Structure 1
Amino acid sequence: MKNNLFVCNTYSDSISIIDLDMFMEADRINLNNSNLDKVGPCNICTYKNKLLVVNKYSNSISIVDMNKGEIENNFFIGMNCNDVKVCGDKAFVVCSDSNKIIKYNIAKEQIEEQISCGEMPYSIDLYKAKQLIITANMNNDSITMANYDRNENIRQIRVGNYPTKALFGIDGNNIFICESNIGSDQCGSISILSSKDLRVLYRISVGNTPVDMCINQNLCFVTNFGDGTVSIVDLNKCIELDRIEIGGMPKGILTYRGNMYVGDSYNNILFCVDLLKKNKKVLKVGREPSGMLLS
């Protein structure tokens, strides 16, 4: 499937499949067959040409056939799963209630390791070239970095207030951290941290309560949940170039072919913003759109 965007609708327990060429919802995958307990899909990645969805309310991950639109399997992981990344047959899942990274072998259907991290890990990223993993830990203003293959050299690094996301740069030399400052009148920030000596090199102010970001070459796109905007940050010059009004409560974000896709978790809509012309298209999706994936 080409030019499709998969959007997790957390409150609707579903995945919207968006045809980007037509900018329409081509299909919607229901993840709750019982309609009893909430599932809460909140983030998504790929695993062997399938979707791997992490569910915060059912404390699980789901394997979904994206062509058939069917759930193949569900695995219980741990309490309050928030994000997932995959390397080979290993899924690395952050569980916010237990403050753990769960290393789960999908092929063997078993938990292999539990790696301790900071309080309330909210996101996770891998740098496969160096077998490194990082989490953003909201409740103790830190990120955790470790070698995920050998479960060693675990480092807790102090950063700004209430970090919601941490991403490795393409070359692995820098780590980019979204510091939300949630609950404060102050703006949030994007910090650039050296992965070699773990020093904060730059801190760039953005909007109110930034919660998610994506990086495209030298630009970082940041959703500011608290003021309904998206900040565009130049990572070379370390400045905010622009701030685009979106409205509502923007959360998940991706860029593709000159467009920016932003989920408004309050109004349950997906924005497509032409980054050159600043034109906006709007599409209704499920309730509380959050994590997104291009495939």
Structure 2
Amino acid sequence: MLKKLTFFLVLPFFISIAQNLIVLNKSENNAMFFDLKKDKLLAQLPTGNAPHEVAISPNKKFAVVTNYGTRENSGNSITIYNLEKLNIEKTITFENHKRPHGVDWIDDEKIIITTEANKSVIIVNFKTGEILAEIKTDQDVSHMLVLTPNKSKCFVANIGSGSVSVIDLKEFKLIKNIQTGRGSEGIDITPDGKEVWVTNRAEDSIAVIDVQTLEVKNKIKVDGFPIRVKILKDGKLAVVSCARSGEVAVIDVANKNVINRIKTAEKSEVEKSGRLFGSVFGDSPVPVGIAIGGNNLVYVANSNADIVSVIDIEKGQILKTIKTGKEPDGIAIW
């Protein structure tokens, strides 16, 4: 009854917001493209092996997907989609760089990617496929990344080393490795570029880095295996997906305190074999990837429930869910 009711309550929002959603299904090797205005699936296209993360180009014409691979078989490619034609623009394969994961666009031509197996990030020319630079982090499991608003620096979260690497994008060199906490994984930056927030999944905390001093200035306790963080466009709230507890935590950015926790789905009853986290978190829906849409709607991929939850953060409620393929993770809005 609740799902039917919330669908009709939220329908006017989707009529007024012309946005689209891309969701990566890790266990099915595909990407799904949704029209949020019409509430329908536009396309489902193949990726490489086990796609993990996705980023939209600044001009909104292309999406790049990192094909991370599985525990048994490392991935070494990226898939680029043409968002106007909804087809595969190209696939770029790297001969000597394995396990591409975190990804973003420096501009409409240059893409920056973490390559975990190489303990590095690489910068790739989207048009030619050429690797323009490789910068070593020398940290274990360099996983997610975020760029400063002016694209002068890149911050890389390193799960295995519990650190964040700071990279100069003008000179293509490592500036510093900052110890942030055990299991540093999710990462985002405030819209004003002053703070980088990092989820430390193994110690249930968020580390807040001062971008000017490159020092950790706050630690915020967030229970439930915090795995991703996104800061809303107005900079007032941060949303953290907590994989173990099956919730998103909502944090006041200025005051650095948790003000709400919202369940992302009911208890998960899907078959868990073959998934990254399997049954480690019991019947949690395992929320991971987060995308911020219009009107501060938050989209959360639930990897062990095969749905995306659409959440009104201000009201603290799920408005609806979107059915995906098996094990959704990487997610983006354009």
Q: For residue 142 of structure 1, what is the amino acid of its counterpart?
A: S
Residue 114 of structure 1 deviates from its aligned partner by 1.6
The structure 1 residue matched to 2:33, chosen from 19, 40, 63, is 63
Task: Give the structure 1 partner of residue 180 of structure 2.
Answer: 206
The whole-number CA distance in structure 2 between the counterparts of 1:70 and 1:272 is: 28
Decide whether aligned partners of structure 1 residues 234 and 111 sit closer, same or farther in structure 2, where only a CA change above 3 A counts. Answer: same
2:135–2:173 Cα contact (<8 Å) kept: no
| Residue 97 of structure 2 is aligned to residue 118 of structure 1 | yes
Q: Give the TM-score normalised by the residue count of structure 1.
A: 0.77
8 A Cα contact 1:118 1:156, kept in partner: no
Do structure 1's residue 174 and structure 2's residue 172 form an aligned pair?
no
Which residue of 1 is the match for residue 123 of structure 2? Answer: 145
- In structure 2, what is the equivalent of residue 251 of structure 1? 227
My pick for the range that moved more, 62-71 or 232-241, is 62-71
Q: Distance in 1 between matches of 2:129 and 2:167?
A: 22
Q: Which residue of 2 aligns with 1:93?
A: 65
Q: Does 1:132 align with 2:110?
A: yes
Change in Cα spacing, 1:137 to 1:153, as seen in structure 2 (3 Å) is closer
Whether 2:50 is the aligned partner of 1:80: answer: yes
1:121 counterpart letter in structure 2:
P
Assess if the C-alpha contact under 8 Å between 2:157 and 2:164 holds in 1: yes
Is the counterpart of residue 227 in structure 1 residue 225 in structure 2?
no
SS in 2 for 1:146: strand
- In 1, Cα distance between the equivalents of 2:157 and 2:32? 27
| CA distance 1:220–1:246, shift in 2 (3 Å) | same
1:285 aligned residue (258, 264, 276): 264
Return the letter of the residue paired with 1:267: S
1:54 aligns with 24
Relative distance call for 1:290 and 1:108 in structure 2 (3 A) is closer
Unaligned runs of 5+ in 2: 11-17, 70-74, 266-284, 294-334
Amino acid at match of 1:58: E
Q: 1:228 to 1:77 in 2, by over 3 A?
A: same
Equivalent pair of 1:118/1:143 in contact (CA under 8 Å): no
Aligned to 1:103: 80
Q: TM-score w.r.t. structure 2 length?
A: 0.68
Bigger Cα displacement from structure 2, 192-201 vs 51-60: 192-201
Deviations, residues 19-66 of structure 1 (Å, cap 9, x unaligned): 9xxxxxx87xxxxxxxxxxxxxxxxxxxx7211112211111111122
Distance 1:279 1:152, change over 3 A: closer
* In structure 1, distance between residues paired with 2:42 and 2:203: 39
SS of equivalent residue, structure 2 residue 203: coil
Answer 1 or 2: which has greater helix percent. 2
Once the two structures are superposed, the pairs formed by residues 8-19 of structure 1 within 5 Å of their partners are none
Partners of 1:169 and 1:115 lie apart in 2 by 27
Do 1:103 and 1:113's aligned partners in 2 also have CA atoms closer than 8 Å?
A: yes
Aligned length in residues: 246
Equivalents in 1 of 2:287, 2:177: separation in Å?
Answer: 28
2:194–2:211 CA contact under 8 A, matched in 1: yes
1:270 equivalent among 240, 248, 251:
248
Instruction: Tell me, in whole angstroms, the C-alpha distance in 2 between the residues paired with 1:155 and 1:275.
Output: 34
What amino acid is aligned across from residue 135 of structure 1 in structure 2?
I
Q: Give per-residue Cα distances to partners, 1:204-247, cap 9 Å, x unaligned.
A: 21111111100111100101111111111101011101111111
* TM superposition shift of 1:68: 4.0
Q: For the aligned residues, what is the CA RMSD? A: 2.2
Cα distance in 1 between the residues matched to 2:184 and 2:229: 11
Structure (1 or 2) with the greater strand fraction: 1
Asked whether the equivalents of residues 43 and 86 of structure 2 are also in contact (C-alpha less than 8 Å), the reply is no
Q: Is residue 179–residue 190 contact of structure 1 (8 Å, CA) maintained in 2?
A: yes
Task: Determine which of 177, 184, 191 is the counterpart of 2:165.
Answer: 191
Alpha-carbon separation, structure 1, partners of 2:217 and 2:289? 25
Give how far 1:132 is off: 1.3
Equivalent residue letter for 1:229:
S
State, as a whole percentage, how many aligned pairs show the same letter.
18
